[in-house]
Structure 1
């Protein structure tokens, strides 16, 4: 009996150009009892028909169709249908890299609720792994030591729905919060980690994140990062306290990073956020003294010193209206 019987869940929306490659990567070398759930999230193009076509050609594949509800809702549909002992989430424009199934075969199966491994980012070619942690079992977050902050905030390996396997029995009735448009995956992971006692870290790189598209978070303008962080903060605090950790430094990092990321989107991405909303967002960022200090330091080290002058003035003088007007006017040049 295969102890690593896995349900791979792929949310599919406007994915006709990438889905075949994702499916091929997921099933190459996979055990015969692997199941692949393609969840068509009400896609208006030929994605749904492609899901049906792929399912008709391989008994390991099932096509599921639902009204459009977002990636979290599609993952929930997959979880409701999953039969495997483990669950792996794969985005329709990403790929599994060779070696994962062989690595799992070598592992002893004990009580781990999560198997964490590395990913490769297409945008930079960078391999991101749990290293310098040694490969092995870690009982609780405290066992991850000084690497925990990096796994949560820098690499995001613990925050994203990938690259990892979840034990399905530990997931139980936990589902992605469909009311959230962002950070629903972060909240899911935090709540899952509250339910598991151990994590097994693999140092191999078995997931490729194709993050080059304009729709990725770092390349699309949105104004809800601060609110999303506020929603996940209580769950993160509860998780840290549960593991005997002081939540203060982690919550500080979470809050400041949300401010920096929102600032980066407002100043570097083209989009339709109007002047009033921009001003309100900049005001919230500048009202946070820790975020303001981090921005001041970042702008001081900016190699494009002349181009950074308007931002330095706006941050130093705490002029959200100036920053809002300047970034809106700069839209035409992005």
Structure 2
């Protein structure tokens, strides 16, 4: 831990200690992106050798708190004190009595140790219950929420805190992740908490609700260049504010400020909360098997990369924001001639979960095969390098696979039009459902137009596979429609397939098209893939009635496409096959 040492010899009166009002403090923090350390009565007790209900006295912690208290507020760090050195009449009677008693004990301490020119208000996280005049609480909470509006936040809190659960306190955040720590004596786990923080903090605003330990964390994170805001009590205050409480009502389902012993709490299962937890420290994290998923199994995310410098960062950023964090990112650069390779290496330097492999240009099949060979995870999924995903993409695929005891889980997709820069939502939240299929039932979905299942069926992305399914299965190198030729073979090796109709994957719609020769090859691949599949399914003993019908439809479509493209030779080949099917069936 890093501490700034100052020598203090002056003494001042309590009335000389200047604390900025709540709104001024919040505006200053917002303007400068400052970190925040808030001192209250509990920290002063600890500095002076006393323990408090949720933190035993610890000499190392006490020294750290005293040194941080002496740091002058600045654009990097706002050190806060309770705004009680003048005009105690602003607070209710209980608060007035409490602070008067507190100063009887600690007046000399404040007058000697609090020498900074100004302090922020500790009450920026206590903007409601103790105030006589609550008319500005709306404004206070609006300003508080503004600190994380549109930002990715990482909450570090005690196991009973569950800040934001059951209310909309963090609804404006871009994403929410959590590290859950002991509610009592968290400082004993300080080093491990900091380790977990540094694994997850990049690009995030840190919100700390961990008692006195939060003060030291906020200071040390600030010194490392991260913004961290110590914001204990804010959740209880927000709950009381919403219920228009006139006294400190105890919350039944989570920790309540100043009800320090966490008695008679019945923690409620909350799917969003559980999904947000990316790490735990010093606690036993029990998860109900039917509702929660162990995140101890690595997913290998394979991203083939070829000349996508304009889209690659978007793809990688979306993957690094995953709430499911036990994954590796395998980037296979397929001989790119733009800046894609440099971008891959840049991201690999920033996150140890990323590994980059470079190969001569050999096409997407070779890149995927190379990626599969390099994987170390128990599960495999593919993401195309110009596409992007929601932050819960991996979590939901993994949950669906594990909960349903499936070998493959599949989700759906929406599209993003690059030319218009607009989303095209074909799958909405109202369409959500989850269903398991036998292999034969899923194979029969190939021609289902509803929910775009005929596309979802074939794409390599959108799916999480058990690693062993790839044993002996390879994408065909040098062939178009490689997904069409491969994915169904993985289905055949599965026992159960889980599908969630959730559009958590965004397919990039671009205007680039096939050349004339490429179109010929594409049409030919569509037919050869269908014929290969039909023959294999029949050999394996599957009922191929629907697949035969699908093959005939494909023949007719490709016949029309080849004629439209001026591919007369191919058109004649397809016409011959259709003529045989229509006029020379066995027994006719």
Q: Given the superposition, is the C-alpha separation of residues 151 and 219 from structure 1 closer, same or farther in structure 2, using an over 3 Å criterion?
A: farther
Partner residue, 1:194:
492
Q: Given the superposition, is the C-alpha separation of residues 242 and 95 from structure 1 closer, same or farther in structure 2, using an over 3 Å criterion?
A: farther
Q: Given the superposition, is the C-alpha separation of residues 18 and 145 from structure 1 closer, same or farther in structure 2, using an over 3 Å criterion?
A: closer
Find 2:573's aligned residue among 267, 271, 284. Answer: 284
Find 1:70's aligned residue among 358, 363, 371. Answer: 363
Q: Given the superposition, is the C-alpha separation of residues 8 and 146 from structure 1 closer, same or farther in structure 2, using an over 3 Å criterion?
A: closer
Q: What is the rounded CA distance, in whole Å, between the counterparts of 2:443 and 2:471 in structure 1?
A: 28
Find 2:460's aligned residue among 161, 181, 186. Answer: 161
Q: Given the superposition, is the C-alpha separation of residues 214 and 255 from structure 1 closer, same or farther in structure 2, using an over 3 Å criterion?
A: farther
Q: Given the superposition, is the C-alpha separation of residues 204 and 67 from structure 1 closer, same or farther in structure 2, using an over 3 Å criterion?
A: same
Partner residue, 1:331:
none
RMSD: 3.4
- Aligned positions, number: 281
Partner residue, 1:310:
none
Partner residue, 1:228:
525
In the TM superposition, residue 10 of structure 1 has moved relative to its aligned partner by 0.8
In the TM superposition, residue 151 of structure 1 has moved relative to its aligned partner by 7.2
- The TM-score with structure 1 as length reference comes to 0.72
In the TM superposition, residue 283 of structure 1 has moved relative to its aligned partner by 2.1
Q: Given the superposition, is the C-alpha separation of residues 145 and 168 from structure 1 closer, same or farther in structure 2, using an over 3 Å criterion?
A: closer
Find 2:560's aligned residue among 257, 263, 271. Answer: 263
Partner residue, 1:213:
511
Q: What is the rounded CA distance, in whole Å, between the counterparts of 1:264 and 1:237 in structure 2?
A: 22
- Which residues in structure 2 correspond to 1:75-86 (within 5 Å)? 75-86=368-379
2:432 touches 2:500 (CA, 8 Å); kept in 1?
no
2:327 touches 2:353 (CA, 8 Å); kept in 1?
yes
Q: Given the superposition, is the C-alpha separation of residues 220 and 207 from structure 1 closer, same or farther in structure 2, using an over 3 Å criterion?
A: farther
2:559 touches 2:575 (CA, 8 Å); kept in 1?
no
Partner residue, 1:250:
547
Partner residue, 2:176:
none
Partner residue, 2:339:
46
2:474 touches 2:486 (CA, 8 Å); kept in 1?
yes
In the TM superposition, residue 168 of structure 1 has moved relative to its aligned partner by 0.8
Q: What is the rounded CA distance, in whole Å, between the counterparts of 1:169 and 1:188 in structure 2?
A: 15
- Residue 322 of structure 2 aligns to a residue whose secondary structure is coil
Q: What is the rounded CA distance, in whole Å, between the counterparts of 2:545 and 2:356 in structure 1?
A: 44
2:301 touches 2:330 (CA, 8 Å); kept in 1?
yes
Is 1:116 the counterpart of 2:410? The answer is yes
In the TM superposition, residue 127 of structure 1 has moved relative to its aligned partner by 2.4
Q: What is the rounded CA distance, in whole Å, between the counterparts of 2:580 and 2:344 in structure 1?
A: 45
| Larger CA deviation: 279-288 vs 109-118 | 279-288
Q: What is the rounded CA distance, in whole Å, between the counterparts of 1:14 and 1:80 in structure 2?
A: 22
Q: What is the rounded CA distance, in whole Å, between the counterparts of 1:111 and 1:227 in structure 2?
A: 38
Is 1:28 the counterpart of 2:321? The answer is yes
In the TM superposition, residue 96 of structure 1 has moved relative to its aligned partner by 1.1
In the TM superposition, residue 14 of structure 1 has moved relative to its aligned partner by 0.5
1:15 touches 1:92 (CA, 8 Å); kept in 2?
yes
- Residue 302 of structure 2 aligns to a residue whose secondary structure is strand
Q: What is the rounded CA distance, in whole Å, between the counterparts of 2:443 and 2:372 in structure 1?
A: 31
Q: What is the rounded CA distance, in whole Å, between the counterparts of 1:64 and 1:117 in structure 2?
A: 27
In the TM superposition, residue 103 of structure 1 has moved relative to its aligned partner by 2.5
Q: What is the rounded CA distance, in whole Å, between the counterparts of 2:443 and 2:531 in structure 1?
A: 21
1:285 touches 1:292 (CA, 8 Å); kept in 2?
no
- Which residues in structure 2 correspond to 1:178-189 (within 5 Å)? 178-180=477-479, 182-189=480-487
- Residue 93 of structure 1 aligns to a residue whose secondary structure is coil
Q: In terms of Rg, which structure is larger? A: 2
Q: What is the rounded CA distance, in whole Å, between the counterparts of 2:369 and 2:341 in structure 1?
A: 17
Q: Where in structure 2 are there 5+ consecutive unaligned residues?
A: 1-293, 418-422, 583-588
Find 1:56's aligned residue among 349, 367, 375. Answer: 349
Q: Given the superposition, is the C-alpha separation of residues 252 and 221 from structure 1 closer, same or farther in structure 2, using an over 3 Å criterion?
A: same
Q: What is the rounded CA distance, in whole Å, between the counterparts of 2:375 and 2:572 in structure 1?
A: 45
Partner residue, 2:125:
none
Q: What is the rounded CA distance, in whole Å, between the counterparts of 1:258 and 1:210 in structure 2?
A: 28
**Deviation per residue, 1:256-315 (Å, 9 max, x gap):** 3254246337637xxxxxx6xx2212323443547999xxxxxxxxxxxxxxxxxxxxxx
1:219 touches 1:265 (CA, 8 Å); kept in 2?
no
Partner residue, 2:469:
170
Q: Where in structure 1 are there 5+ consecutive unaligned residues?
A: 269-274, 294-334
In the TM superposition, residue 221 of structure 1 has moved relative to its aligned partner by 5.5
- Residue 509 of structure 2 aligns to a residue whose secondary structure is coil
Q: What is the rounded CA distance, in whole Å, between the counterparts of 1:189 and 1:27 in structure 2?
A: 26
Q: Which has the higher contact order (CA 8 A, sep 6+)?
A: 1
